[in-house]
Amino acid sequence: MSQKLAAPTTTSATDPAKPPRSGPRATIARGGLPPFQHFLDAYREDVWRFLVSSAGPEDAKDCFQETFIAALRAYPRLRADSNLKAWVLTIAHRKALDVHRRRAKGALPVAEITEASGGEGSSPAEARDETLWGAVHELPARQRSAILLRYVADLPHRDIATAIGCSEEAARRSLHEGLNKLRKVIA
């Protein structure tokens, strides 16, 4: 329970013309936070897809619970104009990171990421998916997170930077480097 709450408010000191508002699907009440259930309904699929892609289908279940329970506990302290999508994906990103760290320490069996596909009779498309996602999981943590937040969760660069705790330029670089490695594997 250590996520920093204030993180993704994304105050745009650099661009006052475009105040950061909550994600496109959040139904914000006049001046207040939406009821938590509406927030959960709006982002459950982004978070689920991100967590399955990052932590694998089994660990995703626990991560999903931990992510939204942590979000619920912190929820009333959020500013009403917070970027809710970036905020919840920041929490999800940290939960997924915990799973990867535990695996790296050998406390958990090696990722079950590839076990569902693969096997003898897999088609070329399945083999390609397996190679690609195997390579995604071999990436350094920051590159992997940047790629998943960008393509699976569809976050803009600015919010990726907030989620992984770096500058926007560093986020772009991580994304670029990660993609380059994947291209070598897939091409």
Partner 1 sequence: MSKKIEQLLRQGAPHIQAAGDEAVAAARRVSERAAAEGFADISYAPVDSPFGTLHAATTKRGLVRIAFPEESVESVLERLAQSLSPRIVQAPASLDLLKRELEEYFAGRRHEFGIPLDWSLTGPFGRRVLEMTAAIPYGGHLSYAEVAAEAGSPRGARAAGNALGSNPIPIVIPCHRVLRSGGVLGGYGGGVDRKRWLLELEGAL
Residues that bind partner 1 (CB under 8 A): 27, 29, 31-38, 40-41, 44-45, 47-49, 52-53, 56-57, 61, 64-65, 68-69, 72-73, 75-76, 113, 116-117, 126, 128-130, 132-133, 136, 147-148, 151-152, 154, 179, 182-183, 186-187
Q: Between 8 and 34, whose beta carbon lies closer to partner 1?
A: 34
Q: Give the nearest distance from C-beta 4 to partner 1 in angstroms.
A: 19
Question: Could you count the other beta carbons within 10 Å of the beta carbon of residue 76?
Answer: 8
Q: Give the nearest distance from C-beta 13 to partner 1 in angstroms.
A: 27
Q: Give the nearest distance from C-beta 37 to partner 1 in angstroms.
A: 5
Q: Give the nearest distance from C-beta 86 to partner 1 in angstroms.
A: 18
Q: Between 102 and 128, whose beta carbon lies closer to partner 1?
A: 128
Q: Between 147 and 164, whose beta carbon lies closer to partner 1?
A: 147
Which of these, 62, 24, 20, lies nearest to 43 by C-alpha position? 24
Q: Measure the CA–CA gap between 138 and 57, rounded to whole angstroms.
A: 17
User: How many angstroms separate the most distant Cα atoms in the chain?
Assistant: 57
Q: Measure the CA–CA gap between 70 and 47, rounded to whole angstroms.
A: 13
Q: Between 23 and 56, whose beta carbon lies closer to partner 1?
A: 56
End-to-end CA distance of the chain: 41
Q: Measure the CA–CA gap between 144 and 140, rounded to whole angstroms.
A: 6
Identify whether the C-beta of residue 20 lies closer than 8 Å to the C-beta of residue 28: no
Q: Give the nearest distance from C-beta 187 to partner 1 in angstroms.
A: 5
